[in-house]
Amino acid sequence: MSTRIAFLHTGAVNIGPVGDRARAALPDATFVNYLDDRIVADLGDPDRAASVPGRITDLVHAAKAAGADVVMLTCSSISELAAPIGAEVGIPVLRIDEAMADAAVSAGDRIAVIATLPTTLRPTVGLLEERAALAGRAPSIRSEVVDGAFAAVSSGDRAEHDRLVAAAIERLAGGADVVVLAQASMASAAEAVEVGVPVLTSVGPGIERLAATIGAGERGR
C-alpha cells in the first residue's frame, strides 16, 4: 500500500505547485488536498481568529480518518500549529517552511523576509529565530510586506504579483545574505529576478524534507 500524504492549504493557488513537486519527488505516494480558503482572512478578524486552530485540527483529524500517514501544512500563517496538532491527533504533521528556514540560517547572518500577507510575517520570523537558536546563531532579520501582491494573485494577476515581489527582492537583497519568500505562493516571483544572494522559497526544500522523512520512516519499518 502506498504512503498517503495529505496537504492542508489555505489558498487554492498552492495546490498545483505543491502537488507537482510532490509527485516528482514521491511518484509512488498517494496525495489528497484539504482547503480552507477563509483561514487567512479569518486570522485577521478578531471575531474569527480563535476558530482557526480548531479548524486546522478538524482537518488533520479528517486526513487521519481518510488514511493519511502524514500531513503537511503548506501555509506559513498556520504552520506553527503543526507540532501541537500533530501531538494531539497522533499523526506526523509537518510544516513546509522549516527546511527553508534552516537553509536561510545556514546562508548568513543577515536575513530578509518578504511576505504578501501580514499574517505570515510573525510565524516566519519566529521560525527563523527558533531554527537559528537551535543552530547557535543570532541573525539579524529584516521583514517587509509587499502591498498589493496578494490581492493581485488572488484576482488571477500572477504577472503583477511577481512584478511587485521581484521589486521587493531587488530592493532588500543588497543588504542581506539571503532573501526568504515567506509564502509558497510567492515562488514564481523568484524566477523573475536575479540578485547576488540566494532567494529561498518553501516548496522545493519542504517537499525534499517530506520525501526524506517518508524515506527514513520506510527504512525503519
Rounded to 5°, angle at Cα 83 from 97 and 95 = 15
Output the average pLDDT for the chain: 94
The Cα–Cα gap between 2 and 5 comes to 9
| Cβ contact 34:8 at 8 Å | yes
- pLDDT score of 218 more than 70: no
Query: Does residue 55 have a pLDDT over 80?
Result: yes
Q: Among residues 103, 94, 42, 78, which one has the least CA distance to residue 183?
A: 78
- Tens digit of each residue's pLDDT (9 = 90 or more) over 138-191: 999 999 999 999 999 989 999 999 999 999 999 999 999 999 999 988 989 998
Q: Would you tell me how many other CB atoms lie within 10 Å of the CB of residue 140?
A: 12
The pLDDT tens digits of the residues spanning 81-99 come to 999 999 999 999 999 999 9
Task: Give the model's pLDDT for residue 149.
Answer: 96
Q: Which residues contact 91 (CB under 8 A, 6 or more apart)?
A: 60, 63, 64, 68, 69, 70, 71
* Structure-model confidence comparison of residues 25 and 218, the more confident one: 25
| Domains along the chain with CATH numbers | 4-96+204-219 (3.40.50.1860), 98-201 (3.40.50.12500)
Confidence (pLDDT) at 1: 75
